[in-house]
Amino acid sequence: MPPKIVDICTYPKGWYTIALSHEIKTGEVKRQLFMGQETVIFRTQSGKISVLDAYCTHMGAHLGHGGTVEGESIRCPFHGFCFDTEGACTKTGYGTKAPKTNIFKYPVIENYGIILVYFDPERQAPEWEVPQIDMEGWRYPKFHRWELESRPQEIAENSVDIGHFSEVHKYTDIQVHKNLETDGPFLTAKYSMTRKAFTLNKNGKKIYAEFEINQWGLGYARVEVYVPEINLRTRQFVLSTPIDEKNMYLRIGMSIKELEKKSQIHPLLVMLPKGWVTKLVESAGLRGYMHDVHQDFIIWQNKKFMHPPALAEGDGPIMQYRKWVKQFEY
Q: Quick check: 208 and 229 in contact, CB under 8 A?
A: yes
Per the CB < 8 A criterion, the answer to whether 20 and 30 are in contact is no
Structure confidence at residue 150 as a pLDDT band (50, 70, 90): very high
Yes or no: is domain 142-328 CATH 3.90.380.10? yes
Would you state the pLDDT for residue 134?
Answer: 87
- Sketch the domain layout of the chain as residue ranges: 22-107, 142-328
Question: Residue 40's Cα: distance from chain center in Å?
Answer: 19
Q: What is the DSSP string of 255-302?
A: EEBPPS-GGGT-GGGGGS-HHHHHHHHHHHHHHHHHHHHHTTHHHHTT
Condensed to tens digits (0 to 9), the pLDDT of residues 220-230 reads 999 999 999 88
For the stretch 41-53, pLDDT in tens is 999 999 999 999 9
Sheet holding 49-53, edge to edge: 29-34, 37-43, 49-53
Please write the tens of the pLDDT for every residue from 263-272.
666 665 666 6
1-10, 43-52, 148-157 — which is least confidently predicted? Answer: 1-10
**Which CATH code for domain 22-107?**
2.102.10.10
Instruction: List, for residues 125-138, the tens digit of each pLDDT value.
Output: 999 999 988 889 99
In DSSP notation, 112-176 reads TTEEEEEE-TT-PPPSS-PPP---TTBPPPEEEEEEEE--HHHHHHTTT-HHHHHHHH--EEEEE
What pTM did the predictor assign? Answer: 0.93
pLDDT tens track for 97-148: 999 999 999 999 998 899 999 999 999 999 999 998 888 999 999 999 999 9
